[in-house]
Copies of this chain bind each other. A is one copy, B any other.
Amino acid sequence: MKTKTICLLTLMVGSVGVFAQTNSTSSTAEPLNDWQPATSNQQGKQYPQVNSEGRVRARVIASQAQSVQLDLGGVKYPLIKGDDGVWTGISKPQDEGFHYYQLVIDGAQVPDPNSLYFYGAGRWGSGIEIPAKDEDFYALKNVPHGQLREVLYTATTSNSVRHCFVYTPPDYDKDPNQRYPVLYLQHGMGENETGWGNQGHANLIMDNLLAEGKAKPFIIVMENGGGIGGPRRDGPPTNAAPAGAGSATNGAARGPGGFGGRGFDFSAFEHVVIDDLVPYIDANYRTIPDQPHRAMAGLSMGGMQTHVIALAHLDTFSHIGIFSGGSVTTNEIPDLGAFKQKVKLVFVSYGSREIDPANRRSGGAPRGFGGDPKANTEALEAAGINCHFYVSPMTAHEWQSWRRSLHEFAPLLFQD
């Protein structure tokens, strides 16, 4: 097992953790005055800004307001009104990477009119990008680019129209005879199929890995694993049959062991993946349509879905990635020999703040979703399974952990 933890950073992590745990907005030191507009701002907007400490400086015009707050990372920072009716305020240092936030204006929770908008926490709202030391791996570069395709397809078992995104690698349209493996990649709870493209930069991560020759080219499919049964953003499906009608697999995703049963029932999404999505993708893209060339991965709830759905369908998937969403235990595998035969990779990852007590922001048990993920993964490897455990340094249950996880996971895929 290749284990990658950057322990040299622990001391720094500790001090930032203290900042994050302090609930006061005052800080002992003056913020560094090297503010830059956030890259997550709308075009031409000078605010919000970030500095090299990872602080956020927000600004909004609200001439008649009594109270304005920046709501970021679980803390509401008060903004101060200037003589010109302009409110400004500064947060404590934030983790590197992407964070959702909002403004609170006299009690109204609203998006910041200056930021781009992202779907998370069950709504389209503001997000801010804190520059990261390793941001180069998801930067937009002048390299060959794949495409993010917005796809409307008919889920044949329900005759309803569904929405997904498909990343095709840079050379996909060059050679009509070339076929590709496929990674099915899922978002977290309160997010949707736009997350991996917008917040995750999955396309740029892959473009950059491919340009450096560090990964094999494959297709990535991003569906909506959270909105099943709810209204579709694009309007009601026409002539929709009840979800699950005619499904041969309905029910299996309640899960082995109990992972699927932690308040979640993934059977409807399992039905979509197995009976609608995989057949659609194999019929409409130049895939290599067999088990050795299919992977599934996801973050948080998407990791739990991957855990449950992939393990129930080892004839469909050979590579499994679980980012901040639990781990696989030997107990839940009835036939380790058969499992080893079929599963080419089990990848498990977390943010360091999620699992390392020294780095954590709050009390309580580490986010293991059923035991210590590192110990579980080591036990699985001891049983002969090809495993990889990764910890993202100085990040929590957030997108920087998952960008890095994809960046670690992708080069391991489809290596046979």
List residues of chain A with CB under 8 Å of any chain B CB.
39, 42-44, 60-68, 85, 102-103, 105-111, 113, 116-117, 122-125, 139-142, 145, 147-154, 159-161, 173, 176, 197, 203, 207, 227, 230-235, 237-239, 284-285
Chain B residues, Cβ within 8 Å of A234: 140
The reply to whether A160 and B142 form a contact with Cβ atoms under 8 Å apart is yes
How far apart sit A154 and B144, CA to CA, in the bound complex (Å)?
A: 8
Q: Other CB < 8 Å A-B pairs besides A43-B227, A105-B108, 8 of them?
A: A44-B230, A61-B108, A63-B107, A109-B113, A113-B125, A117-B124, A140-B152, A145-B152
| Bound: A141/B111 CA distance, A | 32
Say yes or no: B231 contacts A44, CB within 8 Å.
yes
A150 and B152: CB pair below 8 A? no
| The 9 residue pairs across chains A and B that have the minimum distance between CB atoms | A62-B108, A176-B176, A63-B107, A145-B152, A65-B106, A64-B106, A148-B150, A110-B110, A142-B238
Please give the distance in Å from A27's CB to the nearest CB on chain B. Answer: 26
Q: Which residues of B contact A122 (CB under 8 A)?
A: 44
Q: Contact between A235 and B145 (Cβ–Cβ < 8 Å)?
A: no
B42 near A123 with CB under 8 A, answer yes
Closest to A61 in B: B108
- Assuming the contacts A61-B109, A107-B85, A124-B117, asked whether A151 and B145 have C-beta atoms less than 8 A apart, the reply is yes
Residue of A62, A197, A203, A232 with most partner-chain B CB within 10 A: A62
> Of all chain B residues, which has the CB nearest A154?
B142
- Chain B residues whose CB sits within 8 angstroms of the CB of A103 once the complex forms: 110
B66 touches A235 (CB 8 A): no
* Cα–Cα, bound, A231→B124 (Å): 23
Known contacts A150-B150, A173-B285; is-contact A62 B139 (Cβ 8 Å): no
Known contacts A43-B227, A149-B150, A235-B139; is-contact A110 B105 (Cβ 8 Å): yes
Q: Give A108 to B159 CA distance when docked, in angstroms.
A: 45
* Residue ID in chain B nearest A116 by CB atoms: B124
Q: Chain B residues with Cβ under 8 A from A105's Cβ?
A: 62, 65, 105-106, 108, 110
Contact of A231 among B43, B153, B227 (CB under 8 A): B43
- Shortest distance in angstroms between A38's beta carbon and chain B's nearest beta carbon? 11
**Nearest CB of B to A242, in Å:** 16
Question: In the complex the two chains form, is A149's CB within 8 Å of B152's CB?
Answer: no
Name which residue of chain B comes closest to A166, CB basis: B147
B-side contacts of A109, CB under 8 Å = 61, 113
A44 to chain B, nearest CB (A): 6
A118 to chain B, nearest CB (A): 10
- Alpha-carbon distance A230/B61, docked complex (angstroms): 24
Are the CB atoms of B44 and A140 closer together than 8 Å?
no
